[in-house]
Every structure is written in structure tokens, then in C-alpha cells.
Amino acid sequence: MTEERMKEIEAMSDEDIDYSDIPELDDEWFKKAKLVDYSKGESFKSLAKTK
């Protein structure tokens, strides 16, 4: 992402963000969610390998 694009995004208000293509997080999603403690060195890469 370019620095210019990041500034554009940061300048947007919450009302200007289009969330219509993001699925709602329902109870089923939260049942499957895992809490990750990045302070212990666990990374997304290591989580992706377990799938």
C-alpha cells in the first residue's frame, strides 16, 4: 500500500467506509475463533500452517 493511499484511508470517516462486502461475524464464527497472543512469538504464518 502506498503512503498516499494510507493517508486517504486514514482521512475517511467511519460513515464513508463501505462494509457491505464484509460478512457479519456471527456466533458460529466466534465459536471457531482462536485467541492469538503475539507477545509470545506466535505468528500468522505458524497459524496458517496448522490449517
Which residue shows C-alpha cell 512469538? 41
- Parts of the chain with a pLDDT under 70: 42-51
- The pLDDT, as a whole number, for residue 13 is 94
pTM above 0.85, yes or no: no
- The pLDDT, as a whole number, for residue 50 is 53
* Longest Cα–Cα distance in the chain: 38
- The pLDDT, as a whole number, for residue 26 is 94
Cell matching residue 14: 467511519
- The pLDDT, as a whole number, for residue 9 is 92
- The pLDDT, as a whole number, for residue 44 is 61
- The pLDDT, as a whole number, for residue 48 is 56
